[in-house]
Structure 1
Amino acid sequence: MAELSAEVRALLGARNMAHVATLMPDGSPHVSPVWIAVEGDRLAIFSARENRKVANLRRDGRVAVSVCDEHNPYRSVVVRGRVVEELQGDEAVEIMDRMSNRYVGTDFPMRSAIVSLIEPERVHLQDLPFHHPSDTGT
């Protein structure tokens, strides 16, 4: 298992959107925007039970996750790993509510989603020395 540094944990623990890539039955990629959290040494995402992402992860737990800093899109982390645990019920709701409160300030209304815990195998943090030009031309 790859270690999540303090800098990576901070990026994953902010309100940055993540993109999760799973594998379709034919091997083609399927990418979804998701909220993300760190639970211990694992990443957590959640989805409705009927979601394509859940079906893909149950069939093949390999996953790639990318997150860009909302304030600096040239600072990012990419994590490759594998889903090692699926949570449902009260334990899942607790994690979903923590994420929802961080992202939008309220508990999550859907109470029957599935939380997938991802064990990181590779972690790559990138901080490029670029910035967007301002709209004022300076």
Structure 2
Amino acid sequence: MFDPGVRALLDGANFVHLSTLMPDGAPHSTTVWGATHGDYAVFFTNNPGGLKGRNIARDGRVAISIVDRDNPYRTGQLRGHLHGTMTGDEADALVDAMSVKFTGAPFPLRDNTVYLIAVDHSRLTELPFDDAPA
């Protein structure tokens, strides 16, 4: 179930915290760009042999949190599992769109791997605070 508010956060220029599982079951968390593609949450890597790529290939379960850059008291939480991957021109086009969203320019590297995450549970949380650090 994909909460519409969580989808909106993923479609905005908001950083995603992706958690995967290490071989011993310990969590590994990293900040990534995120987006949606159809019914899937997506993120990418240009090094699928890296830690997050190896972790998700071995155990496809993930947890994702998203913080609204305009209101850090509005957050999304998502649990899901790997549905599949995308490579080639279609993946590079999706990565370019994410890069434009975050940096204003296409991503300079090719041969990216996009991970399609099937959403098992998602929830939007909004607290009644103003962002006013002291």
Q: Which runs of 5+ in 2 are unaligned?
A: none
1:106 Cα shift? 1.0
- Please tell me whether the aligned partners of residues 3 and 123 of structure 2 are also in contact (alpha carbons under 8 angstroms): no
Partner of 1:58: 57
Partner amino acid, structure 2, of 1:83: L
Moved over 6 A (4+): none
1:134 Cα shift? 5.4
Larger Rg: 1
TM-score where L is the length of structure 1: 0.91
What is the RMSD computed on CA atoms of the aligned residues?
1.2
In structure 2, C-alpha distance between the alignment counterparts of 1:20 and 1:63, rounded to whole Å = 7
1:8 Cα shift? 2.3
Is the aligned partner of 1:32 residue 2:44? no
In structure 1, C-alpha distance between the alignment counterparts of 2:112 and 2:48, rounded to whole Å = 6
In structure 1, C-alpha distance between the alignment counterparts of 2:2 and 2:101, rounded to whole Å = 23
1:49 Cα shift? 2.0
Partner amino acid, structure 2, of 1:30: H
In structure 1, C-alpha distance between the alignment counterparts of 2:8 and 2:74, rounded to whole Å = 12
State which drifts further: 8-17 or 95-104: 8-17
Q: Percent identity?
A: 41
In structure 1, C-alpha distance between the alignment counterparts of 2:120 and 2:48, rounded to whole Å = 25
In structure 1, C-alpha distance between the alignment counterparts of 2:66 and 2:18, rounded to whole Å = 9
Q: Which runs of 5+ in 1 are unaligned?
A: none
Q: Give deviations 1:22-60, integer Å, cap 9, x for gaps.
A: 000000000010000010110110012222100000000
1:98 Cα shift? 0.7
Partner of 1:14: 12
In structure 1, C-alpha distance between the alignment counterparts of 2:10 and 2:56, rounded to whole Å = 20
1:4 Cα shift? 3.4
